[in-house]
Structure 1
Amino acid sequence: MKRYLAIIVLLLSLGSGSAHAENIDCANASSTVEINFCAEKDFQAADKTLNAAYEAALASINGRDLEKPYDAKSFEAALRASQRAWLAYRDADCKDLVAQEWSAGSGTTSASLGCMTEKTMQRTKELKERYGEH
């Protein structure tokens, strides 16, 4: 699947592909390449928002006056471990399991990216709710 995404990105980055990418109306995407391009665009936006929420959560932790063994350093380490585990879960579920469900058919990439976008948005909401940004 990574190879498939790389091919799409390569095709879209080529001269005519780049011009075509600028003209893709994601509300009316119809070809597999267009649908995958839009799904990737949605995921990238969700991932950017997640990264900002994660950084805000870390800042929130570091701004707290906490005592051992629940001090800011331990709290931050726990959040980092949790985020790494969450990323592994998301990727295993959305990249590996979804690919199995789709038997690597033409909809696999958009289904995988849709799964990743949905889970990423859910994690962003969770971090914002737990660490003060609503």
Structure 2
Amino acid sequence: MSRLRPASVIVAGFLTFAPLAQAQDEPQVDCEKAMTQSDLNICANKDYEAADKELNAAYKTTMTAMQETDKELGEIDPNYVGAVEALKKAQRAWIGYRDGQCELAGFAARGGSMEPMLVSGCLADLTLKRTAELKSLTEGLGN
């Protein structure tokens, strides 16, 4: 039986309660009535977080479909390699594009209180568009 070191127990305790502490620290904002720049920034970030969650679900579904495609085509051609690696390559490239494009979008208010809203808005917009692209990939395969 292994014994946990005291430091490990402390770290585990922090990790357990970190999300709870974060949720308590995050201000509650009614995004339908947001007026201040701070509230607008928070709401834009919430929109991005929701879009990112949807993207992750779509990516998982698309990855499963690409794995099935690779399996089917691999049975026909033993030298076939493709769909999964192509999806990973495309997603990595898209992340780089998204991050650079949204950093650029923030320059319209560089250093100002509105910059985070512009960046988060861009992230949400591009993420929703990528989610639609991923969904169309799986729909094209009949999934």
Normalised by the shorter chain, which TM-score bucket? Answer: 0.7 to 0.9
Which of 45, 54, 76 is residue 49 of structure 1 equivalent to?
54
- Could you say which residue in structure 1 is the equivalent of 2:97? 89
- Could you say which residue in structure 2 is the equivalent of 1:33? 38
* Structure 2 CA distance for partners of 1:69 and 1:26, relative to 1, 3 Å: farther
Say whether 1:66 aligns with 2:79.
Answer: no
Residues 47-68 of structure 1: CA distance to partner in whole angstroms, max 9, x if unpaired?
Answer: 0000110110010011220144
Deviation at 1:70, TM superposition (A): 7.9
- Could you say which residue in structure 1 is the equivalent of 2:18? none
* Structure 2 CA distance for partners of 1:14 and 1:120, relative to 1, 3 Å: closer
Runs of 4+ in 1 over 4 A off after TM superposition: 12-15
Say whether 1:130 aligns with 2:137.
Answer: yes
Indicate the structure (1 or 2) with the bigger Cα radius of gyration: 2
Length-normalised TM-score, structure 2:
0.72
* Structure 2 CA distance for partners of 1:58 and 1:92, relative to 1, 3 Å: same
Which of 104, 113, 126 is residue 120 of structure 2 equivalent to?
113
* Percent of aligned pairs sharing the same letter: 34
Length-normalised TM-score, structure 1:
0.77
Equivalent pairs, count: 117
CA-based RMSD: 2.4
Q: Which moved more, 1:85-94 or 1:104-113?
A: 104-113
Structure 2 unaligned blocks of 5 or more: 1-20
- Could you say which residue in structure 1 is the equivalent of 2:6? none
- Could you say which residue in structure 2 is the equivalent of 1:3? none
Structure 1 unaligned blocks of 5 or more: 1-11
Letter of the aligned partner of 2:87 in structure 1?
Answer: L
What SS class does the counterpart of residue 105 from structure 1 fall into? coil
What SS class does the counterpart of residue 28 from structure 1 fall into? coil
Residues 34-88 of structure 1: CA distance to partner in whole angstroms, max 9, x if unpaired?
Answer: 11111111100100000110110010011220144884x5210111010000000
Say whether 1:77 aligns with 2:91.
Answer: no
